[in-house]
Structure 1
Amino acid sequence: MDNTSNMFNPSLAAALMKLDPEDGEQIMEYLKTQALLTREKALLQASVREQKKLLVENGKLKKDIEQLRVQLQEKQRRRIAKTLFSSAPPTPNQGPAPPTPVNQAVTPTGASVPPSSSSHEQRARQGRRRRGERKAPATCDALSLGVEPRVDVSRLDLRVGRILSVRSHPLVESMSIQEVDLGENAPRRVVSKLGEKTQLEELQDGLAVLLCNVKACKLRGVVSQARILCCSTSDDCIELLAPPTGSVPGDRVTFLNYPGDSDRELQSKQRVWELLQPDLRVDNRGVANYKGCGFEVKGKGLCRAPSLTNCTIK
């Protein structure tokens, strides 16, 4: 008897045969088949999880190697600069200058004279010059490294949120204000422009995908602490991006091919969102993606547009 048969108690088979002599054997075969399928599905899921884990670890290792390479280059430049400044050649046709006592100055004829105010000023200038020479290599290092931060979707902190309440903006008719639960100690306030055709009352208690590491800013007098991601084909046709079934507030949205860590806060001068936004799209199946890599809530599925396809995400 195969391993599948061992999954079932012989008494169960006997009971089935007693209850239904005609179909008892078929029922047992069906149960065995379902057990095999369940076991194969579990093995496949374990394999996929292990593959994703390896991809994440590889991404972190690449990041660590890059940081070590940069540190090594910086140390090498500092060591070379220090060697060059410490081994400057003497002036041609002259031997090394004799040591000068601290309390004496040397005239052009070589005679020593008592210290004067001019000698103090000369030593001060030499000290300032030496200090400037020590600082020069560091400036050269900063300019020569030229290391630019990565610009990919892993820098975005995307999370699932539940809209607790929604109301119109008191000053701007086309804007609305949402209170959103993101699995934190307190909900965040978000100001959005969702279009005139959006029924605000239908958004309450719904799930959405939010960009959470944007800098808080005032929009017409109301502070907005996050950004709700929408998909649209025009200003009038706008839908909220929908997380997969089973998502809960606080779930992270990640990208299999971009396993890096998100920024603590996106800096406006780097314009990360503006650079990434053209590559955030909904494909012809309605799946949200970045350069072909789907918005994924691990273990639950992909984020989608409710009805739109082939459109932008903003």
Structure 2
Amino acid sequence: MDNTDNLFHPSLEAAVMKLDPEDGEQIIDYFKTHALLTREKAPKSLLPTAPPPQTPNLTSTTAANQPSSPAGATGAFQVNPLPSSSSSHERRDKHSRRRRGERKARSTSDLLSLGMESQVDVSRLDLRVGRILSARVHPLAEAMIVQEVDMGENSSRTVVSKVGQEAKPEELQGSLAVLLCNVKACKLKGVVSQARLLCCCISDDCVELLVPPTGSTPGDRVTFLNYPGEPDKELQSKEKVWELLQPDLQVDGRGVANYKGCSFEVKGKGLCRAPSLTNCIIR
């Protein structure tokens, strides 16, 4: 036989000869010729190739190049396998899920903050009655007055306010007023103010103190019948609660202070009013 003998197993030739003793040899020669032509036309990449060279034992070779282990050490040096592509895909998927989770959490927090903003009402303001113990013109600003106010606490609070150029400090001394007490303390022209004095105002030149009802004492809470609830411990500047509420704080045509039509009230004592102004804002 020619060089195509190795393409046919002896048992295959025997089977062909048994099935067709007369023409078996011709059939086998035909298949051998066809197989040889197919081999010559086939791409080299499809032809059988020599077995790859024996890969050296990486573990033993590496171990041989390493310094000798201390006495009593056991085990060969092992090369860590490279991470599989599936592990990389898993990490990318996990990172992507984490990012999506962050966006979802962020959008949820945005919705919550919008919900809080829509629920802002006057009950968050800590409004209390105070008595002005002393008043003096601010040393660095003639339009401002520095007052020491009794709020029914262990010590008085310093309050810096702008009550108009017509106001005289000596006339304010001993007066009862309504103050916003849970604002964050801030420095105004170098003097720290610890509360906000509420005034009725038509213009910068026409300002009056908002007056609590007769019989009020320092520390009395000013509340609103339609807006129950406890005030914030301290108003956060980033929430701008005062800025959101202030446009709805007004004095009506009867001179009564109100928030959206609900009166400023000291329970059991009466309503807060402007001394003479009507239909004006409260600031």
TM-score range normalised by the length of the shorter chain: 0.5 to 0.7
- Report deviation, 1:202: 1.3
What is the alpha-carbon distance in structure 1 between the residues aligned to residue 224 and residue 176 of structure 2?
Answer: 19
Identity %: 65
* From 216, 225, 233, the counterpart of 2:194: 225
- Report deviation, 1:121: 11
What is the alpha-carbon distance in structure 2 between the residues aligned to residue 183 and residue 172 of structure 1?
Answer: 28
What is the alpha-carbon distance in structure 2 between the residues aligned to residue 125 and residue 216 of structure 1?
Answer: 54
What is the alpha-carbon distance in structure 1 between the residues aligned to residue 235 and residue 153 of structure 2?
Answer: 19
Residues 1:290 and 2:259 aligned together: yes
Residues 1:277 and 2:246 aligned together: yes
Which structure 2 residue ranges, 5 or more long, are not aligned?
A: 1-77
Residues 1:116 and 2:80 aligned together: yes
Report the counterpart of residue 162 of structure 2 in structure 1: 193
**Compared with structure 1, are the counterparts of its residues 136 and 250 closer, same or farther at alpha carbon in structure 2 (3 Å cutoff)?**
same
TM-score in terms of structure 2 length: 0.65
Report the counterpart of residue 246 of structure 1 in structure 2: 215
The farther-off stretch of 223-232 and 269-278 is: 269-278
Deviations 1:192-225 (A, max 9, x none): 1111111211111111000111111111110111
**Compared with structure 1, are the counterparts of its residues 297 and 115 closer, same or farther at alpha carbon in structure 2 (3 Å cutoff)?**
farther
| Structure number having the greater helix percentage | 1
| Residue identity opposite 1:119 in structure 2 | P
Residues 1:143 and 2:107 aligned together: yes
- Report deviation, 1:154: 1.0
**Compared with structure 1, are the counterparts of its residues 254 and 118 closer, same or farther at alpha carbon in structure 2 (3 Å cutoff)?**
same
Report the counterpart of residue 185 of structure 2 in structure 1: 216
**Compared with structure 1, are the counterparts of its residues 178 and 125 closer, same or farther at alpha carbon in structure 2 (3 Å cutoff)?**
farther
- Secondary structure of residue in 1 paired with 2:141: coil
Report the counterpart of residue 275 of structure 2 in structure 1: 306
| Residue identity opposite 2:108 in structure 1 | S
- Report deviation, 1:165: 0.7
What is the alpha-carbon distance in structure 2 between the residues aligned to residue 249 and residue 126 of structure 1?
Answer: 66
What is the alpha-carbon distance in structure 2 between the residues aligned to residue 187 and residue 121 of structure 1?
Answer: 71
Q: Say how many residue pairs are matched.
A: 201
- Report deviation, 1:125: 8.5
- Secondary structure of residue in 1 paired with 2:83: helix
- Report deviation, 1:134: 5.7
Aligned CA-pair RMSD:
2.3
- Report deviation, 1:278: 1.1
Structure 1 segments of 4+ aligned residues over 6 angstroms from their partners: none
Report the counterpart of residue 91 of structure 1 in structure 2: none
Deviations 1:109-168 (A, max 9, x none): xxxxx7526339986985686477467546514413612212111111111011111111
Deviations 1:14-56 (A, max 9, x none): xxxxxxxxxxxxxxxxxxxxxxxxxxxxxxxxxxxxxxxxxxx
Which structure 1 residue ranges, 5 or more long, are not aligned?
A: 1-113
Counting only pairs closer than 5 Å after superposition, residues 87-166 of structure 1 correspond to structure 2 as 116=80, 118-119=82-83, 126=90, 130=94, 133=97, 136-137=100-101, 139-144=103-108, 146-147=111-112, 148-149=115-116, 150-166=119-135
What is the alpha-carbon distance in structure 1 between the residues aligned to residue 87 and residue 192 of structure 2?
Answer: 57
Report the counterpart of residue 74 of structure 2 in structure 1: none
Larger Rg, first or second structure (1 or 2): 2
**Compared with structure 1, are the counterparts of its residues 305 and 135 closer, same or farther at alpha carbon in structure 2 (3 Å cutoff)?**
same
What is the alpha-carbon distance in structure 2 between the residues aligned to residue 164 and residue 128 of structure 1?
Answer: 68
**Compared with structure 1, are the counterparts of its residues 131 and 278 closer, same or farther at alpha carbon in structure 2 (3 Å cutoff)?**
same
- Secondary structure of residue in 1 paired with 2:82: helix
TM-score in terms of structure 1 length: 0.59
**Compared with structure 1, are the counterparts of its residues 216 and 120 closer, same or farther at alpha carbon in structure 2 (3 Å cutoff)?**
farther
